[in-house]
Amino acid sequence: MPREDWPRPLLHGTPPRGFMNDPNGLVYHQGRYHFFYQHNPQAPVWGHMSWGHAVGRSLLDWEDQPVALPEQPDHMVFSGSAVVDKANAAGFGAGALVAIYTAHYRDDREAQCLAYSLDGGQQWAFYEENPVLVDPERPHVRDPQVFWYAPGNYWVMAVARADERQVAFYASDNLRRWALLSTFGPAGCWQASPHWECPALLELPVEGTDRTHWLLKVDVDRGAPMGGSGAQYFTGHFDGTHFVPDDPPETVRWAEAGPDFYAAQAFNHMPDRRCVWLGWMNNWRYANVLPTAPWRGMLTIPRELSLKETSGRYDLVQRPCRECYEQMLPAERLPIRRPFPLPAAGLMRLRIAAGGRGAFRCHFFTGTTSGVVLGYDAEHRRLFLDRRAAGQTDFSPAFPGLFQASLPHDVPSELELEILFDRYSLEVFVPEARLVLSALVFPKPGDCAGQIIADRLLISTELYRLEA
């Protein structure tokens, strides 16, 4: 019998009921982080798309709010972003929160629209003169990412021309009238992917310097190396008009080595200089049939972004946001070989000798016959995550899997793995190897042991439990 009472994760955003996909409108405003998201409030499958809403005093609080932008009679409310209009450029009111989203009309056409809130995100009004941006030649243009481009004194929008597999850039000084700046693509992964979605153009710090460099992430709905949907990125320079990539057009780079990362977007108007993004921890191959109830779909942990430059090549580095550690109890050492009880959520930090000989395995969510294995094979310098025997896997043939990533050659001899675990997920960060591997897992009730089996490679272990 299907269980109807799946407790929600402790550190990850989920809808109270119904379906969730992309994060939307991530923005910091008056001391609070707003998390909006693609939401079907009526059923735990995709449909009736609306913007669900949660707020937090920190990046890891999640306080459910009423639906912010409900489905409209003539359109669904698809993905988009939110900005704070401090100078009242749009004329809705000084300090208005303005959402720029894609209307998906009943006849399948799409256009960009505005909605605004004058009370800090509680009540919303749709702009009377919507849509504000229509492309008469292209029915499927969606997922506007809007941010303030200070050097030019205007707003920039990056939006996906989904069928063309291009990103178009527009500028506006009032959020209502948009002028085309340039386009990018097709490039990278496009032939294997019918659609590009959810672009994000981000200016990121270059590690160890006081410089910045640009990254353009754009998702593919099919054709990612782990199967199904995924996030590719390009690094380059944005001069206010054009995005000029560093690499030749056929170069393909992926933000993740795991199967479950999509539709990421970064917070607008962060109170500090960090660039923090989070994604939908899911894959369109099985998103509609995950076993949880009465809610379905969850977000990743917020991640701090930077670029690491090695001989002219820039790699994306993601780290769990530092607030993760602030939520945890002081570190404990872990036993080796002997099973130990795994808390419902926490962070494990392991130091390994990446260049040594041997292997290590770390088992999570283990029961008598099930478990997830995260391992490192030193001979092949490969990190792997095996969820083939992880509790429930039979809801989709695309779900069980073994995911692997090779370490780049220029990593230090000692590496740190930060493994964030929560109900139904593992996120493995290896910042020095520019690797992240995120995967959903659905342990059976009672599958709650951990065990580390290591042969020489392990230097130290730390477990941080989530504060009760």
Strand order from edge to edge, sheet including 141-149: 141-149, 154-161, 166-172, 179-184
Q: In the complex, what is the shortest distance from the CB of residue 68 to ligand FRU, in angstroms, rounded to a whole number?
A: 15
Q: Is residue 68 within 8 Å of 34, Cβ to Cβ?
A: no
Write the interaction track for ligand FRU spanning residues 235-264; mark x where CB under 6 A is met and - where it is not.
Answer: ----------------------------x-
Among 22, 85, 143, 260, the active-site one is 22
CA 231 – CA 254 distance, rounded (Å): 6
- Considering the complex, state which of residue 38 and residue 300 has its C-beta at the smaller distance from ligand FRU: 38
- The single residue among 37, 51, 62, 78 that binds ligand FRU, judged by CB under 6 A, is 78
Is 21 one of the binding residues for ligand FRU (CB under 6 A)?
yes
The DSSP letter of residue 128 is T
Q: In the complex, what is the shortest distance from the CB of residue 456 to ligand FRU, in angstroms, rounded to a whole number?
A: 43
Q: Is residue 441 within 8 Å of 28, Cβ to Cβ?
A: no
Q: In the complex, what is the shortest distance from the CB of residue 350 to ligand FRU, in angstroms, rounded to a whole number?
A: 33
CB atoms within 10 A of CB 90: 20
H helices of 11-107, in order, are none
Three-state DSSP state, 326 = helix
Closest CA to 362 of 349, 345, 346: 349
- Considering the complex, state which of residue 6 and residue 280 has its C-beta at the smaller distance from ligand FRU: 280
Q: In the complex, what is the shortest distance from the CB of residue 80 to ligand FRU, in angstroms, rounded to a whole number?
A: 8
Closest CA to 345 of 436, 453, 450: 450
How many residues in the shown chain lie near ligand FRU by CB under 6 A? 12
Closest CA to 328 of 342, 348, 303: 348
Q: Is residue 103 within 8 Å of 115, Cβ to Cβ?
A: no
Is 142 one of the binding residues for ligand FRU (CB under 6 A)?
yes
What is the distance between the terminal CA atoms of the chain, rounded to a whole angstrom?
31
Token pair in block for residue 455: 């042969």
H helices of 349-450, in order, are none
- Considering the complex, state which of residue 71 and residue 432 has its C-beta at the smaller distance from ligand FRU: 71
- The single residue among 84, 181, 198, 463 that binds ligand FRU, judged by CB under 6 A, is 198
CA angle 348, 301, 207 (to 5 degrees): 80
Is 20 one of the binding residues for ligand FRU (CB under 6 A)?
no
Is 22 one of the binding residues for ligand FRU (CB under 6 A)?
yes
Q: In the complex, what is the shortest distance from the CB of residue 102 to ligand FRU, in angstroms, rounded to a whole number?
A: 5
- The single residue among 102, 117, 232, 300 that binds ligand FRU, judged by CB under 6 A, is 102
- Considering the complex, state which of residue 38 and residue 366 has its C-beta at the smaller distance from ligand FRU: 38
Is 370 one of the binding residues for ligand FRU (CB under 6 A)?
no
Is 79 one of the binding residues for ligand FRU (CB under 6 A)?
yes
Q: In the complex, what is the shortest distance from the CB of residue 140 to ligand FRU, in angstroms, rounded to a whole number?
A: 9
73 Cβ contact partners less than 8 Å away, ≥ 6 residues apart? none
Is 438 one of the binding residues for ligand FRU (CB under 6 A)?
no
Write the interaction track for ligand FRU spanning residues 31-50; mark x where CB under 6 A is met and - where it is not.
Answer: -------x----------x-
- Considering the complex, state which of residue 40 and residue 268 has its C-beta at the smaller distance from ligand FRU: 40
- Considering the complex, state which of residue 224 and residue 383 has its C-beta at the smaller distance from ligand FRU: 224
Write the interaction track for ligand FRU spanning residues 45-74; mark x where CB under 6 A is met and - where it is not.
Answer: ----x-------------------------
Asked whether the bond before 245 is cis by omega within 30 degrees of 0, the reply is no
Q: In the complex, what is the shortest distance from the CB of residue 98 to ligand FRU, in angstroms, rounded to a whole number?
A: 18
The amino acid at residue 466 is L
The answer to whether 22 is a known catalytic residue is yes
H-helix or E-strand containing 375? strand 372-377
Q: Is residue 163 within 8 Å of 141, Cβ to Cβ?
A: no
Q: In the complex, what is the shortest distance from the CB of residue 197 to ligand FRU, in angstroms, rounded to a whole number?
A: 4
- Considering the complex, state which of residue 130 and residue 366 has its C-beta at the smaller distance from ligand FRU: 130
User: The tokens 């930090």 sit on which residue?
Assistant: 349
Give the chain's length.
468
Compute CA 452 distance to the chain's CA centroid, rounded to the nearest angstrom. 28
Q: Is residue 3 within 8 Å of 419, Cβ to Cβ?
A: no
Is 432 one of the binding residues for ligand FRU (CB under 6 A)?
no
Three-state DSSP state, 303 = strand
Q: Is residue 203 within 8 Å of 305, Cβ to Cβ?
A: no
- 143 to 162, contacts with ligand FRU by CB under 6 A? 143
Q: In the complex, what is the shortest distance from the CB of residue 51 to ligand FRU, in angstroms, rounded to a whole number?
A: 10
Phi, psi angle pair for 151, to nearest 5°: -60, -30
- Considering the complex, state which of residue 198 and residue 362 has its C-beta at the smaller distance from ligand FRU: 198
- Considering the complex, state which of residue 21 and residue 393 has its C-beta at the smaller distance from ligand FRU: 21
Give the residue numbers annotated as catalytic, written as ranges.
Answer: 22
Which positions touch ligand FRU (CB under 6 A)? 21-22, 38, 49, 78-79, 102, 142-143, 197-198, 263
